[in-house]
Structure 1
Amino acid sequence: MGVFEEDDSVRVSTLVKLWVSEGFLKPMNGKSLETIAIEFLKDLIDRNLILVDKVGSTGNIKFVKIHDLLRDLCLNQSKKDGFYHVIGQHAPRGISSLRRVVISRNAPMMEVLDDLQSMPRARSIISEYGRIPCIKYSRLLRTLHAYKFHYFGDESLIKSLASQYVNLRHLAVRVGSMSSIFTSFTRLWNLHILIVSCFEMFTAPADIWRMPQLRHIEMITGGRFYLPEPSSDDVVVMENLLVLVGIANFKCSEEVVKRIPNIKKFGINYFCRRGIEQDDYYCLNNIKCLCKLESLRVDCWDDFVASLYALTFPQSLKKLTLDMNDYFQWEKLLEKIGALPFLEKFKLWYGCFGTGKWEMVEGQFPSLKYLELHSCPSLQHWTAESNSIFPRLEKLHLDDMRQLKEIPTQIGDILTLQKIWLENCGESAVMCAKEIVEEQVELQGEDLPFRVKVWLPRENEAVQSLAGPNFEVYVY
């Protein structure tokens, strides 16, 4: 935790990936290393050594902090043990033998250069804040974490990483060209985590399917990243691969699904491809065979993929985000989604309701905790035929739903409901939310844990006059 700056909010997923790549964790009782990491983190939280800073929409811990005094203890102990060196700070034992180096936010570039050149045995370089200079590193380099703010300075250095640093386990960088990453890429046979930020359109080599150690592939791109199908001659099964995010026009053929049997988080997007007219070209219905999948995001913007209407989701799914073009008709898919037994988080973006209505029936969304509807201008009437809707719903987020005239009054009867957010919504929906609040206050008093927050793009005296302890109104 001393790697991060004072008072920083530390992303749990980043911390977990660093623990995994550093080899701090060992397999236990058939659990994944990521699951073990979360258990260790919760143990530290239970001991009040680590503080929860932000919780996700379904209750998962997203960010943590550490008390300043405990962080000082981390820094002092790291100096004593030579665990890592923070550039700009004194190292009583010298730095030539140290294995880990941390580049802090305000570290002068000359100091960074001098210290890195004086650490020939560095195994890990971690920079959450700044740029890593272009020097030749130890061939024993295991962790290179620097992708948030600046481009990695020299593309030729990245090429040498792919060809020489065969011990790399964690490579998280920001580059100008994807080709610099994938030159001699398969020599990185130890690689566990690959995170790349790039704005270039690029197709990865099929050899990526021959790297069984990979656990996490994430492309943070403004362009498009294509991953080809594996060759039928390959026999490698990517049993360790848990995360595959940021892939464009991914073809979920039977062969591909067999190669990623343990995938838990999957993020794909589809763009128009001329010459492809078959509805089933992308084989999206095979997603149902990913029986361990927990989180799925599908974006389809430029072209309409008709096979999505026939899409069947795996029963294991807990989180689902669908971002479709304006012609996609949600009525053809919502019944299937509502039947998913473990679905806790559902985001529905864009698309349309051909009838202008969403009529909910009893028994749908039995486990849903968070629901977000974003920019569905065709939805005007949202109703329910039963009081038994969303039995576990905690948070409802409506964004840019200007034509929505009503929210089901039954939502106010949900015992677990905590918050309703309305951003840039019409007055009718806002009034429905106000009625829900008033009913709850009448039943439980003003100390109830339920809140409504409304954001408006301009002054609206009628809505602002409704503000109260449980009904907050903001203008932006």
Structure 2
Amino acid sequence: MGGIGKTTLARNIFDDSLITYHFHTRVWVTISQKYHVREILLSILKSTNAITDKLNQEMDEEVIAEYVYKRLKGMRYLIVLDDMWSTEAWDDLKRVFPDDDNGSRIILTTRLFDLAVYTNSFGHQMGFLNEDQSWKLLRKKVFGEEYCPLYLKKIGKLIAKNCQGLPLAIVVVAGLLSKAKRNKYHWENIARNVSLAVRENDEHFSKIISLSYIHLPHHLKACFLYFGAFPEDYEIPVFKLVNLWIAEGFLKPKESKSLEEVAEEYLNDLVKRNLVLVTKKRSNGKFKFCSIHDLLRDVCIQKARGEDFLHVMDVIQKDIRKKRRLCFSKCLEWYHFKNADKYTTNSSPARSIFCYLYTDKVIGFKLLRILDVLETIFQTFPIEILILFHLRYISFTNGFISSLPPSLSKLQNLQTLIIGSSMSFRTRDPMLIVPFQIWEMPKLRHLVFLNITLPPVLVESPVLENLQTLSRVRNFKFTNKVTEMIPNLKKLKVFYTGQSCKQRSEYDLDNLVHFHHLETLNLKFNPSSDWWKEPFPIKFGLPLTLKKLTLSGCGLSWKDTSVMGSLPNLEVLKLRSLSVMGSEWDPIEGEFSQLKILLMEWLDLKYWRAYNNHFPSLEKLRISHCSGLEGIPSEIGDIPTLQVIEVDCSDLAVDSAKLILEEQQSLGNDVLQVRIGSHLEQDFW
């Protein structure tokens, strides 16, 4: 059954450091009831770092399956197929897993005993927790390492008992208790509600889980129900979720905090209540992806429908015109949605539409604020939606649009515009042409594209005080006017290609220093093959507010890194391919005082001399594809904050990492982990 701990057990195995070390590659795939073989195969390739633009566009499932087989051939792999619902799914996938008798393993989780038997493998059937185990889990989730007060112990055991051994119910109730006042009155009230839920009917697990919703603060209820809008087993990009909440108007403004920061606080609260799972974190520790358990999603959908908050539809319903938020499932027939106009009126109260495929019938929803389309099959921006004046959020992902119309500026309430996949940063993608009217939309907060050429800023262009994100911009000039016009920019991804790399002085990159609120900068050069024969003067400015810096193709010298080292707030530094050139790096004492994450990959570094006081706050170090590196300084291991060293390059570097680990273990340091090989955590980095 659901919520009994199958995925948790599999995840603990998958993430174990010994498992990570033992297998060449590890792949986690969630199957779900409505699975698509092509998407699963592409997910496997992505996890093994074998995905390419050509394969991503390949429609022939057999071609992709053959490539997966060849990719895994000879590897010692661990594959987790989580939440499988049918023998057909196993039959569809088992053919791509080669059996080389080399210790490869497949872990399958399912609620169906017959499916486990069908795979003809060793099975482990999960059971319910006994009363003692239930209490231990509840106590750990509520109190952590603290003791439970004696006056709450008896009540706590009763609550744990009434959860009837289901880990998910225990964890959810623990989230509720952790936020409640620690006195007998509040705990007894929760105990009565749990007991009542158990006595009422056989759906007591759903009733128990619903208690957490009932006890949520009012400002979190809408945010929680909103998770019902996303497909089952979907990994939700936190960036997307946050901006949807903002567009919906769910957030209460707080003094000195942006709406994005408030949204992150709300999400963190839901995570602490054990209602939302964090599936991936960014290198700076912030949440990158999240998800929700199937049973909790069912509760969201049920409650949302009951409160007329949100409706998930498999078929078009006649009362569609009365709904405020509409989610059309992937199985909804295309012709049904095309005929939706006979169910809509200009007076429809719908504020939000989530769908897999676009139809121009959305123009019947005149009050629409949010339009989220997962699959786009057109290349021209649908100009008919420009009459939807109230739109705040538009997302067209997994497709290509070649240009935006000048009349886009009619959408004066637009806050977030996402065109193309938000998950990649590739300089070879088709370019999106944007009109200068984009600078006439004062409420814009986030512009995220695959590959965009922005128009020059006009002298008369207004100040866009709300704009915080500008992502995947090509060959853009940062004139003084630009820095004045978008003064509150927090996140910037920009890249330069071809001849623009040689003409870099024309792009005024030294003006980047004037972005006084910039926290994340990704600067990439993708030049011709011989450009780095010329010296690269350090002609881009770095504002003191930077927390995360990613460089690629810059051709700096190692001495130039002192500019980065002097940044007082820098926590994450990623030096990717040819970002820095030269064989020796001698950091200066006192630099990189706040740096927590350091990544170096595809560099020609040979000698690295460093001491523990050079990176006093370092927590994670990764060195990848630096084939000439002769070793990691042994003093790096003495940094008290260091938790992980990951190495995937020369044998000398690998040997030095192992030696550091041995030395630290001999000194009683059992915190430091060393990971070796090509199977390291790609998503984190």
- Once the 2 structures are TM-superposed, how far is the Cα of residue 168 of structure 1 from its aligned partner? 1.2
Residue 178 (str. 1) matches residue 402 (str. 2) = yes
Query: What residue number does 2:431 align with?
Result: 201
Work out the CA distance in 1 between the residues paired with 2:513 and 2:536: 13
Work out the CA distance in 2 between the residues paired with 1:89 and 1:69: 22
Q: Is the 8 A contact 1:284 1:307 kept in 2?
A: no
Deviation larger for 276-285 or 54-63: 276-285
Q: 1:125 aligns with which of 353, 358, 365?
A: 353
* Rg larger in structure: 2
Work out the CA distance in 2 between the residues paired with 1:427 and 1:159: 57
Residue 319 (str. 1) matches residue 543 (str. 2) = no
Query: What residue number does 2:52 align with?
Result: none
Residue 102 (str. 1) matches residue 327 (str. 2) = yes
- Once the 2 structures are TM-superposed, how far is the Cα of residue 310 of structure 1 from its aligned partner? 2.9
Q: Is the 8 A contact 2:585 2:608 kept in 1?
A: yes
Q: Is the 8 A contact 2:576 2:602 kept in 1?
A: yes
Deviation larger for 332-341 or 41-50: 41-50
Q: Is the 8 A contact 1:362 1:387 kept in 2?
A: no
- Once the 2 structures are TM-superposed, how far is the Cα of residue 444 of structure 1 from its aligned partner? 1.3
- Once the 2 structures are TM-superposed, how far is the Cα of residue 106 of structure 1 from its aligned partner? 3.5
Q: 1:255 aligns with which of 481, 506, 518?
A: 481
Q: Is the 8 A contact 1:312 1:336 kept in 2?
A: no
Q: 1:73 aligns with which of 286, 291, 299?
A: 299
Q: Is the 8 A contact 1:87 1:115 kept in 2?
A: no
Q: 2:443 aligns with which of 193, 200, 213?
A: 213
Work out the CA distance in 1 between the residues paired with 2:385 and 2:284: 39
- Listed one character per residue, the Cα deviations across residues 305-329 of structure 1 (whole Å, up to 9, x for unaligned) are 977613231110000000116xx13
Work out the CA distance in 2 between the residues paired with 1:31 and 1:314: 21
Query: What residue number does 2:652 align with?
Result: 428
Work out the CA distance in 1 between the residues paired with 2:269 and 2:283: 22
Runs (5+) with no aligned partner, structure 2 = 1-226, 422-428
Work out the CA distance in 1 between the residues paired with 2:543 and 2:568: 10
Query: What residue number does 1:301 align with?
Result: 526
The DSSP-based 3-state class of the residue aligned with 2:332 is: coil
Q: Is the 8 A contact 1:280 1:307 kept in 2?
A: no
Q: Is the 8 A contact 2:393 2:417 kept in 1?
A: yes
Work out the CA distance in 2 between the residues paired with 1:22 and 1:308: 46
- Once the 2 structures are TM-superposed, how far is the Cα of residue 255 of structure 1 from its aligned partner? 0.6
The correspondence of residues 15-414 of structure 1 with structure 2, limited to 5 A, is 15-88=241-314, 94-114=319-339, 118-120=343-345, 121=348, 122-127=350-355, 130-137=356-363, 138-147=365-374, 150-153=375-378, 155=380, 158-162=382-386, 164-174=387-397, 175-179=399-403, 181-197=404-420, 199-221=429-451, 225-234=452-461, 236-273=462-499, 280-302=505-527, 309-324=538-553, 328-351=555-578, 355-376=582-603, 378-384=604-610, 386-414=611-639
> Are residues 399 and 154 of structure 1, via their aligned partners in 2, closer, same or farther at CA, if it must alter by over 3 Å?
closer
- Once the 2 structures are TM-superposed, how far is the Cα of residue 297 of structure 1 from its aligned partner? 0.5
The DSSP-based 3-state class of the residue aligned with 1:281 is: helix
Hey, which of these two has a bigger chunk of strand by percent?
1
Q: Which amino acid aligns with 2:408?
A: F
The DSSP-based 3-state class of the residue aligned with 1:333 is: helix
> Are residues 169 and 351 of structure 1, via their aligned partners in 2, closer, same or farther at CA, if it must alter by over 3 Å?
same
> Are residues 390 and 50 of structure 1, via their aligned partners in 2, closer, same or farther at CA, if it must alter by over 3 Å?
same
Q: Is the 8 A contact 2:612 2:638 kept in 1?
A: yes
The DSSP-based 3-state class of the residue aligned with 2:396 is: strand
Q: Is the 8 A contact 1:418 1:449 kept in 2?
A: yes
Q: Which amino acid aligns with 1:320?
A: L
Work out the CA distance in 1 between the residues paired with 2:504 and 2:361: 50
The DSSP-based 3-state class of the residue aligned with 1:217 is: strand
Query: What residue number does 2:89 align with?
Result: none
- Listed one character per residue, the Cα deviations across residues 212-265 of structure 1 (whole Å, up to 9, x for unaligned) are 1000001113xxx2112221123x111000001111111111111000111000
Query: What residue number does 2:676 align with?
Result: 454
Q: Is the 8 A contact 1:134 1:153 kept in 2?
A: no
Q: Which amino acid aligns with 1:212?
A: P
Deviation larger for 56-65 or 188-197: 56-65
Q: How many aligned positions are there?
A: 439
Work out the CA distance in 2 between the residues paired with 1:289 and 1:299: 19
Q: Which amino acid aligns with 1:387?
A: N
- Once the 2 structures are TM-superposed, how far is the Cα of residue 280 of structure 1 from its aligned partner? 2.9
- Listed one character per residue, the Cα deviations across residues 89-133 of structure 1 (whole Å, up to 9, x for unaligned) are 797x93320021113343333444455753442321124xx3233
Deviation larger for 264-273 or 236-245: 264-273
> Are residues 381 and 110 of structure 1, via their aligned partners in 2, closer, same or farther at CA, if it must alter by over 3 Å?
same
Q: 2:642 aligns with which of 407, 411, 417?
A: 417
> Are residues 197 and 10 of structure 1, via their aligned partners in 2, closer, same or farther at CA, if it must alter by over 3 Å?
closer
Work out the CA distance in 2 between the residues paired with 1:395 and 1:116: 54
Work out the CA distance in 2 between the residues paired with 1:154 and 1:125: 21
Q: Is the 8 A contact 1:134 1:154 kept in 2?
A: no
> Are residues 308 and 32 of structure 1, via their aligned partners in 2, closer, same or farther at CA, if it must alter by over 3 Å?
farther
Work out the CA distance in 2 between the residues paired with 1:454 and 1:104: 42
- Once the 2 structures are TM-superposed, how far is the Cα of residue 65 of structure 1 from its aligned partner? 2.7
Q: Is the 8 A contact 1:16 1:34 kept in 2?
A: yes
Query: What residue number does 1:466 align with?
Result: none
Residue 439 (str. 1) matches residue 439 (str. 2) = no
- Once the 2 structures are TM-superposed, how far is the Cα of residue 155 of structure 1 from its aligned partner? 3.4
The DSSP-based 3-state class of the residue aligned with 1:36 is: helix
Q: Is the 8 A contact 1:252 1:287 kept in 2?
A: yes
Runs (5+) with no aligned partner, structure 1 = 458-470
Q: Is the 8 A contact 1:279 1:306 kept in 2?
A: no
Work out the CA distance in 2 between the residues paired with 1:310 and 1:151: 40
Hey, which of these two has a bigger chunk of helix by percent?
2
Work out the CA distance in 2 between the residues paired with 1:154 and 1:202: 10
- Once the 2 structures are TM-superposed, how far is the Cα of residue 152 of structure 1 from its aligned partner? 3.9
- Once the 2 structures are TM-superposed, how far is the Cα of residue 136 of structure 1 from its aligned partner? 4.5
Q: Is the 8 A contact 2:236 2:290 kept in 1?
A: yes
- Listed one character per residue, the Cα deviations across residues 370-413 of structure 1 (whole Å, up to 9, x for unaligned) are 1111111x2111112x4312111111111211111111111101
- Once the 2 structures are TM-superposed, how far is the Cα of residue 334 of structure 1 from its aligned partner? 0.5
The DSSP-based 3-state class of the residue aligned with 1:73 is: helix
- Listed one character per residue, the Cα deviations across residues 17-62 of structure 1 (whole Å, up to 9, x for unaligned) are 1101112224221321111111111222222222333222222122
Q: Which amino acid aligns with 1:449?
A: V
Q: Which amino acid aligns with 2:284?
A: T
> Are residues 439 and 211 of structure 1, via their aligned partners in 2, closer, same or farther at CA, if it must alter by over 3 Å?
same
Q: Which amino acid aligns with 2:474?
A: A
The DSSP-based 3-state class of the residue aligned with 1:411 is: helix
> Are residues 338 and 31 of structure 1, via their aligned partners in 2, closer, same or farther at CA, if it must alter by over 3 Å?
same
Q: Is the 8 A contact 1:142 1:170 kept in 2?
A: yes
The DSSP-based 3-state class of the residue aligned with 1:184 is: helix
